[in-house]
Amino acid sequence: MKPSGIFSLFSMLLLIGFWSGAAAQEISELEQRCIDCHDRNQPAMVADWRSSHHAEEGVTCLDCHEVAEDAPMGARHKGTYVSVLVPPTVCGQCHEDQVAQFNQSGHFRAYRQQIPKDSLHALTSIHEGREHPELGDAPNETGCIQCHGTEIKVDDDGLPTPETWPNSGIGNVYPDGSTGSCGVCHTRHKFSNAEARKPHACASCHLGPDHPNIEIYENSKHGHIYLTEGHTWDFEGPSGEWKPGEDYRAPTCATCHMSEVGIVDATHNVTERLHWVQWAKRSNVRDSDNIMSPTLGDGEEGREKMMMVCESCHSIRHTDGFFAQADKAVKLYNQAYYEPATKMREELREKGLLKDNQWTDKFEITYYHLWHHEGRRARMGATHGAPDYAHWHGFFELMQDIYELEQIYERRIETGEIGE
């Protein structure tokens, strides 16, 4: 006989009470002390944890923060050893596939690729930092490492140093040698899937004059739809059950680059579905398995996967036409802007007609803007369906750059002098 609604509700409440009691029994006295102390001192932190899937599964503070006495990071605290830092090796104990996928992505090298770049270090510490003996690292600490990450150092007490932490860098290298920062997208201590799937998870870093991806997204029709009705969509579904047409009507960054869509598997390798390298000086098709290479990935396979994602919402003709337009823009940048600008720069260098300090040289500054700012905007705007960034913030400004470079080049070649 089918039970009544009242009886069913009563049974459900009993089960919830039993589960809660069982979960409470599983929490040790030391773990409870962690929760109680932080609840008094950082109540928002504990509230985040209580609303998380971790709490539902009985994962507590010590599961993530407790370390061995001889661990490369950690300090004696309240009867045990704990680390403020939680590296991806800890997350990987449960999320092994996600960490392995991340380790094959361009995000992995976000900090590592900066290590050999002397010109970048000179920019932040010598030029921006003005070689200030005490404050010169501020541009790097408050800017670069907050997105790219850094090599986190610990002091004699096992605590992270203020020069390297806190930061939200995706490519952090931890004292145990591991790389990455899961909490950048799934912020602590809730570690929400919904938060990571919304475009502003990516916008913390992918914005501004050099890669305005969030502005580009909002300029696109995808962003138009999201900004109109995205607040009504369900972003909570587990991987494999979060589907276009059911839970959302237009993609976010995570949809196209990471989520399971149709027969395309979910991945934390954000490089996997990419064809071009759009952040580099010149866009080449990805063709390398070297994690430190700018062309990391299989561009042809990446294009196939991305097109399958597009075709979950668009017709094949629509998808083919979109990529034909985007590819034409990328190739135009390569052939009509980057290559002639670079040829002029190389000739000026050979003739000694560039200043030693590139940041006081009008040619060098304009050249930098051509690829690092306007060139990226044109390419990214074209491949993300953002007309204002492809044109007015992209090719229109590229046109001004190349004309100015040509004028400076011709004047220096004719006179044999740097001049201004």
Task: Give the DSSP per-residue string, 287-307.
Answer: EE--TTSTTBEEHHHHHHHHH
pLDDT digits (tens, 9 = 90+) for 204-254: 999 999 999 999 999 999 999 999 999 999 999 888 889 999 999 999 999
pLDDT of residue 249: 96
- Whether omega before 162 lies within 30 degrees of 0, making that bond cis, reads no
Confidence bin at 95 (pLDDT 50/70/90): very high
- Token pair listed for 69: 């006495």
Please write the tens of the pLDDT for every residue from 99-110: 999 999 999 999
- pLDDT bin (cut points 50, 70, 90) of residue 59 is very high
Prediction pTM value: 0.90
Burial label, 149 (beta-carbon count in 10 A; 0-12, 13-18, 19+): buried
For 115-150, write each residue's pLDDT tens digit: 888 888 889 999 999 999 999 999 999 999 999 999
Residues 269-285: pLDDT tens digits?
999 999 999 999 999 99
Output the six-digit token pair for 282. 């010149």
Q: Which two tokens stand for residue 382?
A: 């074209």
Q: Is the peptide bond between 166 and the residue preceding it cis, with omega within 30 degrees of 0?
A: yes
Distance CA 239, CA 40 (A): 35
Q: With contact defined as beta carbons under 8 Å apart, do 69 and 81 qualify? A: yes
- Residues shown for the chain: 420
Domain boundary assignment for the chain: 45-57+65-191, 325-415
Confidence of residue 8 (pLDDT cuts 50, 70, 90): very low
Q: Is the pLDDT of residue 5 over 80?
A: no
Element (H or E) spanning 77, and its range? strand 75-77
164-214 pLDDT per residue, tens:
999 999 999 999 999 999 999 999 999 999 999 999 999 999 999 999 999
User: What percentage of the chain has pLDDT greater than the value 90?
Assistant: 88
Q: Is the pLDDT reported for residue 25 higher than 60? A: no
